[in-house]
């Protein structure tokens, strides 16, 4: 298929035509080869190094070379960008990171059992090594490094971060950045350093039974009571609530203004009598999510992020961090024991699966693997771009995760979704097949992401809403009339 035709197929994707131009530049510009060249000739033309090294590796896959290492996009960027381009300061920082992963972290995790214990040991080792909070102020436990150093960290750490880091995803990836950017000095002093060091785990109290995609319709209320706030309501789909010490909470503080204007963002202590956590069992058998009931839960009066009734702006800022994190998460090797989370199956593991099933000689299988590899590289390149709307990355992550799971299902369960109880590989892939459907929901549904892209990037008009300027306390009657 000619590149122009492949580009036309990319334009047909529902991510948006405008973004197809970026995809074209990322995927096709480096390649100077045509499809009519046989794979062997293309491999010779590319060589094993230089600008077209990645094309050579793709040719190796097409030839069914079972000995070729099939890296992720981030692996390639880490290997290519570190060759003679660093300043002395950058080289020193790069060596520091490598020593941390090769020596320090290995010693810190040795002999530690249990997911939570290993997660805390990892964060503590990272913090003590001066590698946590790279872009945080020094006075709050950070390193205040520039973007170049942070890019080096992403290059060197990719594929080497323990999977237990996801226990701190909400805290380090979402809550702490919002506190850093909008919180008072009291909140920064209290929460940034313990969060970066792994002393506290966070959860996110956003969604409610009646406020999912329409988050601004939340009904949980917070009432000022002297030096405290009293909070009453219910939250749902809360990841990690059962192990969290702190939570980012959205609650309504003024029902007499339109729904977006009467919301405040708080920091809620989870370990108190007014907080009850109940697990929600998923079809995978796991219970990653919870519903949380708040009955006069208490919050100190100064634990407000931003201003009172300005919580919607804080919520949007946090959602941007969430979508960026879920959208461009590093696709490291998951490990067969990893039966949780929302990370797509890495292509390397799919290649190993196809080899174990003796399907690598099938041209359709090789073509599917090549496409999955391209998609994985797109997600990887998005991860390295700081100017990409997070909704784009999240859509691509969802697309890749579901496509990878469907491929795994065809390879692992060609006859029926049944397997021997002792087959750990089958258990792993069965979990991924069931788990991937949630990728289009967590962090905002695909429809919400497309609306965001259409309105914010393409400049399309907002969808009509009859309740936009109506006080929240009157919304029930307005919606009845509007329907």
> Rounded to the nearest 10 degrees, what angle do helices 73-81 and 147-157 cross at?
120
Catalytic residue flag (residue 322): yes
DSSP state string for 370-404 = HHHHHHHHHHHHHHT-SSS-HHHHHHHHHHHHHHH
| The dihedral sign for the CA sequence 211, 214, 219, 222 | positive
Taking residues 279-305, what's their average pLDDT? 93
Task: Look at 254-263, 268-277, 278-287 and tell me which has the smallest mean pLDDT.
Answer: 278-287
Taking residues 448-454, what's their average pLDDT? 89
Q: Report which of residues 386 and 256 the model is more confident about.
A: 256
Q: Which domains does the chain have, with CATH numbers?
A: 70-161 (1.10.540), 202-324 (2.40.110.10), 330-444 (no CATH)
212 has pLDDT over 70: yes
Please tell me the predicted confidence (pLDDT) of residue 271.
97
pLDDT tens per residue across span 343-400: 788 898 999 999 999 999 999 999 999 999 998 888 777 766 666 777 888 888 899 9
- Residue 476: how many CB atoms within 10 A of its CB? 10
Please tell me the predicted confidence (pLDDT) of residue 51.
36
Taking residues 91-98, what's their average pLDDT? 95
H or E element in which residue 174 lies = none
Q: What is the mean pLDDT of the chain?
A: 80
Beta pairing, strands 228-239 & 246-252: unpaired
Q: Report which of residues 93 and 415 the model is more confident about.
A: 93
8 A C-beta contact, residue 450 and residue 14: yes
pTM of the model: 0.73
22 has pLDDT over 90: no
Write out the E strands in 270-403.
Answer: 275-280, 289-300, 304-305
308 has pLDDT over 70: yes
Q: Which of 376, 288, 375, 382 is nearest to 332 (CA)?
A: 376
Chain-centroid distance of CA 367 in Å reads: 27
92 has pLDDT over 70: yes
Identify the DSSP state of 138: G
Catalytic residue from among 74, 166, 200, 322: 322
Please tell me the predicted confidence (pLDDT) of residue 242.
95
Q: Report which of residues 37 and 122 the model is more confident about.
A: 122
Paired with 251 in beta bridges are 264
Burial of 454 by CB count in 10 Å (0-12 exposed, 13-18 middle, 19+ buried)?
A: middle
pLDDT tens per residue across span 313-340: 999 999 878 766 654 444 444 444 455 5
| High-pLDDT (> 70) share of the chain, % | 75
Q: Give the three-state DSSP class for 301.
A: coil
8 A C-beta contact, residue 469 and residue 259: no
5 has pLDDT over 70: no
Task: Look at 273-277, 416-420, 476-480 and tell me which has the smallest mean pLDDT.
Answer: 476-480
Say how far apart CA 256 and CA 290 lie, in whole Å.
30
- Residue 288: how many CB atoms within 10 A of its CB? 21
Phi, psi (deg, nearest 5) at residue 151: -65, -40
8 A C-beta contact, residue 383 and residue 470: no
């Amino acid at each position: 298929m000619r590149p122009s035709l492949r580009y036309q197929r990319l334009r047909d994707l529902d991510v948006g035509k405008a973004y197809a131009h970026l995809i074209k530049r990322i995927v096709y510009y480096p390649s100077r080869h045509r499809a009519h060249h046989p794979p062997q000739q293309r491999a010779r033309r590319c060589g094993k190094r230089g600008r077209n090294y990645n094309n050579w590796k793709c040719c190796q896959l097409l030839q069914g070379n079972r000995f070729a290492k099939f890296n992720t996009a981030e692996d390639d960027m880490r290997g290519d960008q570190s060759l003679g381009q660093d300043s002395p300061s950058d080289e020193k920082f790069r060596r520091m990171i490598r020593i941390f992963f090769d020596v320090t972290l290995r010693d810190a995790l040795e002999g530690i059992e249990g997911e939570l214990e290993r997660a805390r040991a990892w964060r503590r080792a990272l913090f003590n090594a001066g590698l946590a909070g790279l872009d945080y102020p020094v006075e709050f436990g950070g390193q205040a490094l520039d973007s170049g150093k942070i890019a080096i960290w992403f290059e060197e750490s990719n594929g080497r971060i323990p999977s237990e880091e996801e226990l701190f995803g909400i805290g380090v990836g979402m809550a702490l950045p919002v506190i850093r950017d909008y919180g008072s000095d009291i909140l920064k002093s209290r929460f940034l350093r313990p969060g970066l060091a792994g002393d506290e785990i966070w959860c996110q109290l956003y969604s409610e039974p009646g406020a999912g995609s329409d988050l601004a319709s939340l009904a949980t209320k917070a009432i000022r009571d002297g030096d405290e706030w009293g909070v009453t309501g219910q939250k749902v789909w809360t990841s990690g609530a059962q192990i969290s010490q702190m939570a980012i909470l959205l609650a309504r503080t003024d029902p007499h203004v339109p729904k977006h204007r009467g919301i405040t963002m708080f920091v809620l202590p989870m370990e108190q009598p007014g907080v009850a956590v109940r697990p929600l069992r998923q079809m995978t058998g796991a219970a990653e999510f919870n519903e949380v009931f708040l009955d006069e839960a208490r919050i100190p009066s100064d634990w407000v992020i931003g201003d009172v009734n300005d919580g919607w702006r804080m919520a949007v800022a946090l959602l941007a961090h969430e979508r960026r994190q879920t959208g461009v998460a590093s696709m490291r090797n998951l490990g067969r024991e990893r039966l949780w989370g929302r990370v797509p199956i890495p292509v390397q593991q799919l290649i190993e699966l196809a080899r174990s099933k003796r399907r690598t000689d099938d041209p359709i299988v090789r073509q599917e693997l090549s496409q999955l590899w391209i998609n994985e590289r797109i997600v990887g390149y998005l991860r390295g771009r700081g100017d990409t709307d997070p909704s784009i990355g999240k859509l691509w992550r969802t697309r890749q995760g579901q496509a990878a799971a469907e491929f795994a299902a065809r390879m692992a369960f060609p006859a029926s979704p049944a397997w021997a109880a002792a087959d750990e590989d089958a258990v792993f892939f069965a979990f991924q097949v069931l788990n991937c459907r949630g990728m289009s929901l967590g962090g905002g549904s695909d429809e919400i992401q497309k609306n965001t892209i259409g309105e914010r990037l393409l400049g399309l008009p907002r969808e009509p809403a009859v309740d936009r300027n109506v006080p929240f306390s009157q919304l029930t009657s307005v919606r009845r009339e509007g329907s």
